[in-house]
Chain A
Amino acid sequence: MAETPPEEKEPESLPKKPRLRVVGFADAADVVAAVSRALREHAGSMSENATPLLACCDHAAQLGARSSIVQERVLDPDFLSEFNAYYSRQFANCGRYCLRVHFFRTQAQTGDAPLDFLGRIEKADYLGFITLRPVARSPVGASFLTTANSDARIRCMDHFPVHLGGVRFDISGTPFLQQDNAVGACAQASIWMALRTMRKREGDRAFDPAQISGAATRFSVAARILPNRAGLTWTQMLDAVRGAGYSPHQVRFAKIASAIQLTAEETREAKRQIAVYLDSEIPVLLLLFPPPRGAGHAVVAVGYRFTGQPAAMDLQNISLDNKVGVQVPHAAGWVNELIVHNDNSGPYLPLPNVRVKNSYALEHAYSAIPLLPADVFLTGEEAMAIATNLWLSQIQDITQDQTANEVADFTQRFVVRLLLVEKRRLRDWAVTSGVAAEVAEELRLGDLPRRVWAMEIHFRDEYAKHAEEDARSVVGFYLLDSTGDDHTNTMLMSFLNFPIFTELPSGVLLRSASWDLIQTQECPLLPPFRSINQNAKTEPHTEAEPQGNAPIDTG
């Protein structure tokens, strides 16, 4: 008897919704309504605790979003990692597809043909996208929105190509992700945001959320890994940072990690130390323990608000040797407040220095974890101590015949700013800055490590002008070897344009490699190594795009 062939099953078909559809917004409020509607259809419901989603919608509305393309059936790699680690193992059905909402400034009508719309929009009108997980309680997956127009200086960001329906768009921004409270908590979300920001610059190394949880709990476990409701300890966070290839460096502001309430001076000190890394375009994980309970929360600092007129009490003086008795204002005095990605509140939000109502604040910071590249052996704190000492010593030598008041007045004319700068940026700067030819030649032709710590010395009055424009304010600088550890041999070069701020007749370049001192030609005030007025530069950080760093393939 012939065997009956098994009945052929129909392959599981995908939903019949169109993959791309245009949704127009009547006004700013309509952005929230439209995205909420899309989420309800996608995830079945919408949690009342939708703060990060609403904040993303608000941000898009502030950017001027007037329309969107809703993209169905997105296989988002970061959610797939969460799906594989957790949701696929649940009995209850959870889809593996995400929904993406792409925002545009261009006006459109709901139901417009997507290809016609894509054909007529200006590429500059693209504002980025929100990825919606099929998880109602924590919907915001890997999302990339451009920065809002404001006085915020977003220092930590990158440039991301996005492909949509055969059209390539480009956005500059800082990746945002809400914790899903299953594979990861705030700590993992913050680490993910920081790693994705640094991804291109540091050779395409970035963990997905599941990999972060894995790296964090490899050597030390404090609670269940899945679901990860308990979050991570700071030691586990350091393990994850180290596992991703960065130095597990932590800058502490308080001794005990519980209910932190820094004093005003301690808060300023914390801001100064964090600003060094932000000016280096290094995102900084902040570990906050607000009173009264001291429940820990992690956010990632990505920039700051710059003020042209700091309050006198916000001027940060640094003096490392009381015998010298001179103090110099630090650039962090012009940092009004930090800008953070807070996974449970939203992207690009201010972190006030002191608590406002129930907000998180910098005064709650126990410590900071900057994503310091592993080959940087000299920390920002150590580099600051060395460079400041060099500058203070120089001031002492310049003013040795003056009275104490005269010395104090002299030092208050300057601002110091420390930042980590890539060698190629220094060389670019040498070409365009107008620096004296001897200095330009040394910077362009000399041997330099991949990154150097640069302390810029600015005229204080000129520094304030960076609030409005790209000002020229630099009168000199010290370059330190970031791979140095013996702190007496870290200085690579210094240049001081003496005629501009003293009666000395010539500027001088000190080259440590050959230990010679060269008189330099006359040159004007110089621009900083990185713009203070603009957001971070967003062109690719490496000459060639590293392998595997594919554009965001949205179809």
Chain B
Amino acid sequence: MSGLTFGKLMIAAAKGNQKQTVTTLEERREANRNLMDRVTPTIDEIRVQQQCALEESKPIVLR
């Protein structure tokens, strides 16, 4: 089960004989966890960058 992703689920479905496949709760959790592992650092970085910029910025006038 380790390393299961949405991509692998979709490829398996494309190859499969069944027209419709329902994922198990365990599969969903695994795919979600893998996505979270990949995305979280990036999202955190975006939010931290935003925070740092707010702290470092001086309000300068636009006219």
Instruction: Enumerate chain A interface residues (CB-CB to B < 8 A).
Output: 179, 185-187, 222-223, 229-237, 250, 252, 255-258, 287, 289, 294-298, 320-321, 367, 379, 381-382, 385-386, 389-390, 393-398, 487-489, 491, 494, 496, 498, 504-508, 510, 514-519
User: Chain B nearest CB: distance from A388 CB in Å?
Assistant: 9
Q: Is the CB of A514 within 8 A of B22?
A: yes
**A233: which of B34, B52, B56, B61 is its contact (CB, 8 Å)?**
B61
Residues of chain B touching chain A, judged by Cβ–Cβ distance below 8 Å, are 5-16, 18-23, 28, 32-36, 38-40, 42-43, 46, 49-50, 52-53, 56-63
Contact, CB under 8 Å: B35 / A389: yes
Docked Cα-Cα span, A518 to B23, in Å, equals 11
Asked if A258 and B23 make an inter-chain contact with CB atoms under 8 angstroms apart, the answer reads no
Please determine whether B63 and A185 come into contact, CB atoms closer than 8 angstroms. yes
Is there an interface contact between B46 and A505, defined as CB atoms closer than 8 Å? no
With A and B bound together, what is the CA distance between A497 and B20 in angstroms?
Answer: 16
CB atoms of A382 and B20 under 8 A apart: no
Most A CB within 10 A of own CB, among B5, B33, B40, B62: B62
Q: B6, B19, B28, B61: which contacts A518 (Cβ < 8 A)?
A: B19
Interface of A is mostly: mixed
Q: Once the chains are docked, how many angstroms separate the CA of A252 from the CA of B57?
A: 10
B42 touches A385 (CB 8 A): yes
A439 CB, min distance to chain B CBs, angstroms: 13
Q: In the complex, A367 Cα to B57 Cα: how many Å?
A: 11
Inter-chain CA distance A379–B43, complex, in Å, is 10
CA distance A510 to B28 in the complex (A): 12
In contact, A296 and B50 (Cβ under 8 angstroms): no
- The answer on a CB contact under 8 Å between A297 and B62 is yes
Q: How far is the CB of B40 from chain A (nearest CB, A)?
A: 7
Contact of B10 among A367, A396, A508 (CB under 8 A): A508
A389 / chain B contacts, CB cutoff of 8 Å: 35, 38-39, 42
Contacts of B18 in A (CB 8 A): 519
Knowing A255-B57, A393-B38, the reply to whether A296 touches B49 (Cβ < 8 A) is no
Residues of B near A395 (CB, < 8 A) are 7
Asked if B22 and A515 sit within 8 Å, CB to CB, the answer is: yes
- Distance, CA A489 to CA B18, complexed state (A): 26
User: Known: A320-B42, A390-B6, A393-B35. Contact between A222 and B20, CB under 8 A?
Assistant: no
Q: Which of A252, A257, A494, A496 contacts B58 (CB 8 A)?
A: A257
Closest chain A residue to B18, Cβ basis: A519
Closest-CB distance, B4 to chain A (whole angstroms): 10
CB < 8 Å: which of A252, A398, A488 contacts B36?
Answer: A488
Contact between B52 and A255 (Cβ–Cβ < 8 Å)? yes
**Chain A neighbourhood of B7, CB < 8 A:** 390, 393-398
A504: B residues at CB distance < 8 A: 11, 14-15
Instruction: Find out whether the CB atom of B61 lies under 8 angstroms from the CB atom of A390.
Output: no
A398 vs B6: C-alpha distance in the bound complex, in angstroms?
Answer: 12
Task: Tell whether, in the assembled complex, residue A488 and residue B63 are in contact, meaning their CB atoms are under 8 Å apart.
Answer: no
Take A320-B38, A389-B38 as given contacts and tell me if A507 and B14 are in contact as well, using a CB distance cutoff of 8 Å. Answer: yes
Nearest-neighbour CB distance to chain A for B62, whole angstroms, equals 4
Indicate if the CB atoms of B57 and A516 lie closer than 8 Å: no
Instruction: State the Cβ distance, A4 to closest chain B Cβ, in Å.
Output: 57
- Once the chains bind, are B63 and A296 in contact (CB under 8 Å)? yes
Given A289-B60, A294-B60, A510-B9, A488-B32 contact (CB < 8 Å): yes
Q: Which residues of A contact B33 (CB under 8 A)?
A: 488
Known contacts A488-B32, A515-B28, A234 near B39 by CB under 8 Å: no
Q: How far is the CA of A517 from the CA of B19 in the complex (A)?
A: 8
Alpha-carbon distance A508/B12, docked complex (angstroms)? 10
B14 touches A519 (CB 8 A): yes
B43 touches A508 (CB 8 A): no
Among A187, A258, A517, which residue has its beta carbon within 8 angstroms of that of B9? A517
A257–B54 CA distance with the chains assembled, in angstroms = 11
A494 to B20 alpha-carbon distance, docked (Å)? 15
Could you say which residues of chain B place their CB within 8 Å of the CB of A506?
13-14
Would you call A517 and B10 a contact (CB within 8 A)? yes
Docked-complex contact B15 and A385, CB < 8 angstroms: no
Task: State whether B14 touches A508 (Cβ < 8 A).
Answer: yes
Asked if B63 and A186 make an inter-chain contact with CB atoms under 8 angstroms apart, the answer reads yes
B23/A517 in contact, CB under 8 A: yes
A140 nearest CB across to chain B (Å)? 17
Q: Given the complex of chains A and B, what is the CA–CA distance between A256 and B52 in angstroms?
A: 11
Nearest Cβ distance between residue A330 and chain B, in whole angstroms?
Answer: 15
For the complex, what is the distance from the CA of A379 to the CA of B50, rounded to whole Å?
Answer: 12
Given A255-B53, A489-B32, A510-B6, are A382 and B43 neighbors across the interface (CB < 8 Å)?
A: yes
The 30 sampled A-B contact pairs (Cβ below 8 Å) are: A187-B62, A222-B59, A223-B61, A230-B63, A233-B60, A252-B50, A255-B52, A255-B57, A320-B38, A367-B53, A382-B43, A385-B46, A386-B43, A393-B5, A393-B7, A394-B7, A398-B7, A488-B39, A491-B6, A494-B10, A504-B15, A505-B15, A506-B14, A508-B14, A515-B23, A515-B28, A516-B20, A517-B9, A517-B12, A517-B20
